[in-house]
Structure 1
Amino acid sequence: MDIKKIKAILQAMVATETNELTLETPEYKLSVRRSAPVQTTVAAAPAPAAQPAAAPPAETAAPPASSPADNAAPAADESDCPGCVEITAPIVGTFYRKPAPDAQPFVEVGDRVEKGQVVCIIEAMKLFNEIESEVAGVIRKVLVEDGEPVEYGQPLFLVEPA
């Protein structure tokens, strides 16, 4: 069996959402199994608090003491887009806005997205996981730069529900 036939079989599996396939002929046996697709988590939780700044050198005057609330970053959904829903990272990995380096981003600010539409990719352990929107609406803000590492639950996009 040549690589073109194998690629065609894999593409058919993706298109039909088949998770397991075994093909046996007198010349060969091919078994393919894929893991369940990664589901996105949409949450309206505030962004994690920022790390406090390092202490200034001893020769400069220290600023007045501030409360932990003063050091916290404002929640992205409160200040940037009231009523928006966050699309968060369901896994730890590297965030990519485009399917390939020379391709257009999946979504841009102002684009309308449907529930289930791919909005980005997160690479984890050499696997590229498509992240889908779980809400229909308009992309109002991209919160992560292309190629940046992301943590589980980290907000990636703000979507204004439609």
Structure 2
Amino acid sequence: MNTKELKSILQALQEHEVSELTLETPDYKLTVKRGGEVQVVAAPTPVVVPTAAPAPAPTPEPLPPAVPAPTPAPKSEPPKEDTSRYVEVKAPIVGTFYRAPSPDAEPFVKEGDTVKKGQVLCIIEAMKLMNEIESEVAGVVRKILVANAEPVEYGQVLFLIEPA
């Protein structure tokens, strides 16, 4: 039985206000009670017991030689940017990352901004406490790796700063 047949049966039951229906086939038994639940029970499968000794299995024919599957061309990944010269600013706690002190305020920093050591870069809210995250170095903010109001994990990289 497919879903289309089941839907038509249910619709007919509803139109004719039938409260209960049981339908049996060799494959399944379906009982529908109005206001209740649909119950489908699989029919037991018959067990066949052989009475004579089984015939010997035919010997399989040799398979033709396997044709190797074509190997896909290696995907060329874009070259990764060398970030070794940047200082990573990592989340010191688990919480929610905010780029600005309030929803209508300007962000603390943007990519390309020059920052001083100790300057506030963002806020991480943890357990209703707002924790200011400060820059550990003076330099230029090259990448902001987290979107505003996104959850962050302990040790997650938030900013890449190129030291001055």
Q: Which TM-score applies when normalising by structure 1?
A: 0.51
Alignment of 1:68-147 (within 5 A): 79=81, 81-147=83-149
Alignment of 1:1-162 (within 5 A): 79=81, 81-162=83-164
The whole-number CA distance in structure 2 between the counterparts of 1:80 and 1:128 is: 33
* Post-superposition offset of 1:81: 3.8
The whole-number CA distance in structure 1 between the counterparts of 2:84 and 2:114 is: 17
Cα 1:80/1:94, change in 2 over 3 Å: farther
Cα 1:153/1:116, change in 2 over 3 Å: same
Unpaired stretches in structure 2, ≥5 consecutive residues: 1-70, 73-78
* Post-superposition offset of 1:82: 4.4
Unpaired stretches in structure 1, ≥5 consecutive residues: 1-62, 65-73
The whole-number CA distance in structure 2 between the counterparts of 1:82 and 1:140 is: 12
Higher relative contact order (CA closer than 8 Å, sequence separation 6+): 1
* Post-superposition offset of 1:80: 5.6
The whole-number CA distance in structure 2 between the counterparts of 1:160 and 1:96 is: 21
2:122 is matched by which residue type in structure 1?
C
> Which aligned runs of 4 or more in structure 1 are off by greater than 4 angstroms?
none
- What do residues 120-157 of structure 1 show as CA deviations (whole Å, max 9, x unaligned)? 00000000000000011000000000000000100000
The whole-number CA distance in structure 1 between the counterparts of 2:144 and 2:128 is: 24
1:145 is matched by which residue type in structure 2?
A
The structure where helix makes up a greater share of residues is: 1
Higher Rg: 2
- How many residues were matched structurally? 90
> 1:89 touches 1:152 (CA, 8 Å); kept in 2?
yes
Kindly report the root-mean-square deviation, in angstroms, between the aligned alpha carbons of the 2 structures.
2.3
